[in-house]
Amino acid sequence: MKNFILSLLLLTTLSISAQNNKFIGEYELSPSYNIDSNELKKSLNINNDNTFSFHYYQNSKGMLSEKSLYGKGTWTAKGNYIYFHTQESDLNEKYTLNFNNSKAVFKSKHLRDKSSRIIIPNLLFIKTDIFWMERVKLDRQ
């Protein structure tokens, strides 16, 4: 009986960690906006140690200087949703973006979909306090 419970517990733990691994990777705004020397990039790295880092870069002809913003923190997952958390200790002179109250949904080709269509896995921010990140879709690279 002990072996059965131990096996069940181990199987549950492995399945939970395997589900979180589907989110790991680099995501970017695709295509990156680069027209007539105007450039806009948004990139998000989700790490397997449940941390993330974000970089926003903008350089436009009309701007006097280029703009870079950074954010970092931790993430948790429930189903296909990723919740981002930023602690006070994550914020400093470089990392100024606070991703608290941010939620994204992970979208990919369903396992039962046997069609030949290509669906790039992506994250869609559905809730965030960073107004320019609302409804932003970042594709996995």
Of 26-35, 104-113, 131-140, give the range with the top mean pLDDT: 131-140
- How far apart CA 97 and CA 50 sit, in angstroms, is 18
pTM of the model: 0.79
Tokens of 45: 């790295």
Confirm if 76 and 58 have CB atoms less than 8 A apart. no
Determine the pLDDT at residue 100.
Answer: 95
Confirm if 133 and 123 have CB atoms less than 8 A apart. no
Domain extent at residue 28: 2-140
Which residues face 51 on adjacent strands?
74
CATH assignment at residue 47: 2.40.128
Structure confidence by residue, pLDDT tens digits, 34-76: 666 678 899 999 999 999 999 999 887 766 778 899 999 999 9
The DSSP H or E segment spanning 44 is: strand 38-46
Nearest to 109 by CA among 118, 100, 101: 118
Neighbours of 84 (CB within 10 A): 25
Domain tally, the chain: 1
